[in-house]
Structure 1
Amino acid sequence: MPKPINLHDFRVLAQRRLPKIAFDFIDGGADDELGMLRNREAFSTYQLLPRYLIDVTHRDQSVELFGRRYASPIGISPTGMAGLFRTGADAMLAGAAKKANVPFLLSSASNLKIEDAAKIAPENVWFQMYATSDPRINEDLVKRARNANVGVLVITVDVPVNSNRERNRRNGFTRPFRMTPAIMLDALTKPGWVIEYLKAGGMPMMSNWQPYAREGASANEVADMYGTLTPAPMTSWETVAAVREQWKGPLVIKGLLHPDDATQAVKLGAQGIIVSNHGARQLDNAPSPLTMLPAIKAVVGDRATLMMDSGVRRGSDVVIAKCLGAESCFFGRPTLYAVAALGQDGAEQVFAIMRREIDAVLTQIGCGNFNVLDGRYLQPSFTSV
């Protein structure tokens, strides 16, 4: 395949390299996977309204988030177990984010420790955590993020229970994980991945959770322990309040869709909200984040920084989201496909492509500065001018 020219191309490359069980883990959603379609279709309900005869010789797509200036209004959503798809993938993603100067939300389910990620990209790594059923572990995760000088803490709140991801179930990708003959036979069709997997010692370690397991625990044992601690259905606003009390830096709540929840998050001291439906991997019938942005912006106003993920694949998507109130957009699957297929260079290509697309759209619509975008540049696709 020629060099990728858009984010969709990386999916094709990843599918060629990964065995089905690994590719489907990235690619799949919940239940009938209709939510993933809605996430993409939501962007088609808007059109960008260009203005011409405006000098757009100079364009600026940089954004300031929580006191730091980033080169583009994009970043990497948290993606767990990235090391399964390519050894060292989390470190590669951190390196790519640093080079592009965009945020990287390191998943607490990553194969790279908070402390090591922060050393790779100290200005770009944010730490994403799930609250567990053990308050002591919650406290320790926050403490470790603070001691590593992580700039932003993100709590993901939209996983009260494991979702019904049928591709994973059909493929046998469940906990506890067992390498069955069928899985091994499928994996052998992708020898490059198999060789790397075996050279790395098999299932990668969930390093952030290793300190909470018994000494000498295997990667599978640590993963199984993680599965007993999360999801934590007892997680509540009291949990958020406890984290807010402990964490003095910028706090972001990820996974909200209801305006009332956004209001409550701000009341409890959250400085940021990532409007998200978890890439349609949790509740298949949930609305797309883009459709909920206007209502959430209406109640939050300027009291918190609004961001979004789920379904973002084009530079025009980022521009539309900004017009509706999102200061920045994140995506997980595209960079995971890219790093799985091409390593760090693939993730760097993703950012370069998105930068070019955002720049081209800003030029086309006659807006030289991303930060001044608003509803004047947008109209519903079903209306005529």
Structure 2
Amino acid sequence: MKIESAINIDDVAKLARSYLPKIAYDFIDGGVDGEDGLIRNRDAFGRYRLVPRYLVDVEKRHQRATLFGHDYSSPFGICPMGIAGFFRPGADLMLARAAAAFDLPYIMSSASCDSIEAAAAAGPKTTWFQIYGTRSPHITAGLVQRARALDVKVLILTVDTPVMGKRERNIRNGFRRPMKMTPRVILQGLSRPAWTYRYLTGGGIPMMENWRPYAGKDADANAVADLYGSETPAPAQSWDVLRAVRKAWPGPLAVKGILHPDDARICLELGADGLLVSNHGGRQLDSAPAPLDMLPLIADAVGHKMEILIDSGFRRGADIAKALCLGAKAAFFGRPAMFGVAAAGEAGARKVLDIYRQELNLAMGQMGWTDVGCAGPEAIVDLSDPRLFRERPRSAPIRLERAEG
């Protein structure tokens, strides 16, 4: 199958799997511990049903959405993903260009292989930047200042990695620092010659360009990666990190990884403009709730005062529609975009964005929506315990309760 023949995200994932060695594919696809969180993220969407309204003129409909004062063509975008260049050289910039072509936000990870300067040049109106709190505050401050100098549209502070989750697939495959060329890894590489050729001719382990300035003038890719590993995660970080970033960053600021309504309120009090409700794609705490489960509670807590975004588990356009009904202004996805760019470069990334756009367009037509502003709690049904959303009328979905007898 070629990327042009892919009709859904599962097809794109299959193409990536046929191109990548197991050690690389599992890094993208895997979670932590027993990977119950991955299943929970997907199962959460099954709790809800969209309720269509018919005999509505939907011949003309659009998906335009305004996020942090900027207009985008659809209410979705690409999540930050580290070391994308390991899966295909130049992947970060391919994602930036694809997002710019579709007029969608792309959140570049500070753990990317290409630099934020290059990404901002590739997509000046659509590139956002994600950072972590580090053990050395001057590195976090430096990343903020670089984003400020580039007039990056939105800064994202990720807070859900105080310690690194136990990513068992990575451990089994030997994906760790330092990387060792075991017989198993070598055999995987031989089974995927196209990827291996690109990896070797590209110089092997890619440089983490955003971190290069902090590692010393002559630091190679291994030294830069070691610096990153020593600086993150930063278990001693506290709300002071958000205070410092807010003080240094004058533009829109969103906090990624929030799952508790009380934490959402603290973010609001400390001056954050938005939240990205997330459990890190099931890659941190395996017992954490799915972001979709917490979205209505967080929307109730701060939704009128903050921009609410969400990620984790989005595989269909209808999933995006459900999130909009439950209080999100936009949904973000990581793995599908990484699968696309790994399988077919920028063309693969564009294919993924096109699939989501077309599927959301079809869902809107069925729902009787002429624009995404039509989404709301009256358009969704919660099939779980109806008591869950009692006394939460603003974001409470319709409840189906069986009549007694």
Same fold (TM over 0.5): yes
> In 2, Cα distance between the equivalents of 1:197 and 1:178?
15
Shift, 1:87, TM fit:
0.8
> In 2, Cα distance between the equivalents of 1:237 and 1:173?
32
Q: Name the SS of the counterpart of 2:210 in structure 1.
A: helix
- Please list every run of 5 or more consecutive structure 1 residues that lacks an aligned counterpart in the other structure: none
Aligned 1:138-157 pairs, distance under 5 A: 138-157=140-159
Correspondent of 1:249 among 226, 231, 251? 251
The equivalent residue for 1:81 is 83
Matched, 1:136 2:120: no
Shift, 1:367, TM fit:
1.3
Correspondent of 2:37 among 35, 38, 46? 35
> In 1, Cα distance between the equivalents of 2:54 and 2:164?
49
TM-score by length of 2: 0.94
> In 2, Cα distance between the equivalents of 1:77 and 1:332?
5
The equivalent residue for 1:314 is 316
> In 2, Cα distance between the equivalents of 1:345 and 1:324?
32
The equivalent residue for 2:167 is 165
Partner AA of 2:159 in structure 1: V
> In 2, Cα distance between the equivalents of 1:74 and 1:8?
18
Q: CA offsets, 1:62-97, max 9 Å, x none?
A: 100111110011100001000010110001000000
> In 2, Cα distance between the equivalents of 1:188 and 1:364?
47
Matched, 1:291 2:293: yes
Correspondent of 2:66 among 64, 69, 83? 64
TM-score by length of 1: 0.98
> In 1, Cα distance between the equivalents of 2:293 and 2:81?
23
Partner AA of 2:247 in structure 1: E
Partner AA of 2:41 in structure 1: N
**Would you say the 8 A contact 1:177–1:220 is kept in 2?**
no
> In 2, Cα distance between the equivalents of 1:62 and 1:226?
37
The equivalent residue for 1:116 is 118
Q: CA offsets, 1:190-237, max 9 Å, x none?
A: 000011111111110000111111222121111011100000011111
Shift, 1:10, TM fit:
1.0
The equivalent residue for 2:17 is 15
| Higher deviation after alignment, 180-189 or 339-348 | 180-189
The equivalent residue for 1:260 is 262
Shift, 1:184, TM fit:
1.6
Aligned-residue RMSD, C-alpha: 1.1
- Please list every run of 5 or more consecutive structure 2 residues that lacks an aligned counterpart in the other structure: 385-399
Aligned length: 385
Partner AA of 1:158 in structure 2: D
> In 2, Cα distance between the equivalents of 1:261 and 1:56?
39
Shift, 1:35, TM fit:
0.5
> In 2, Cα distance between the equivalents of 1:384 and 1:5?
36
Aligned 1:184-199 pairs, distance under 5 A: 184-199=186-201
> In 2, Cα distance between the equivalents of 1:322 and 1:91?
28
The equivalent residue for 2:284 is 282
Partner AA of 1:58 in structure 2: K
Partner AA of 2:368 in structure 1: G
Q: Name the SS of the counterpart of 2:365 in structure 1.
A: helix
Q: % of aligned pairs identical? A: 51
Shift, 1:188, TM fit:
1.0
Partner AA of 1:56 in structure 2: V
Correspondent of 1:374 among 373, 376, 398? 376
Which contiguous aligned blocks of 4+ residues in structure 1 show a shift greater than 6 angstroms? none
> In 1, Cα distance between the equivalents of 2:401 and 2:371?
26
> In 2, Cα distance between the equivalents of 1:182 and 1:48?
46
Q: CA offsets, 1:215-273, max 9 Å, x none?
A: 22121111011100000011111110011000000000000000000000011111110
The equivalent residue for 1:46 is 48
Shift, 1:384, TM fit:
6.4
Q: Name the SS of the counterpart of 1:138 in structure 2.
A: helix
Q: CA offsets, 1:119-177, max 9 Å, x none?
A: 11000110000110001111111001101111110000000011100000011101122
> In 2, Cα distance between the equivalents of 1:277 and 1:289?
6
The equivalent residue for 2:395 is none
> In 1, Cα distance between the equivalents of 2:219 and 2:180?
16
Q: Name the SS of the counterpart of 1:93 in structure 2.
A: helix
Q: Name the SS of the counterpart of 1:128 in structure 2.
A: strand
> In 2, Cα distance between the equivalents of 1:328 and 1:42?
17
Partner AA of 2:259 in structure 1: L
> In 2, Cα distance between the equivalents of 1:139 and 1:147?
12
Q: Name the SS of the counterpart of 1:188 in structure 2.
A: helix
Matched, 1:208 2:201: no
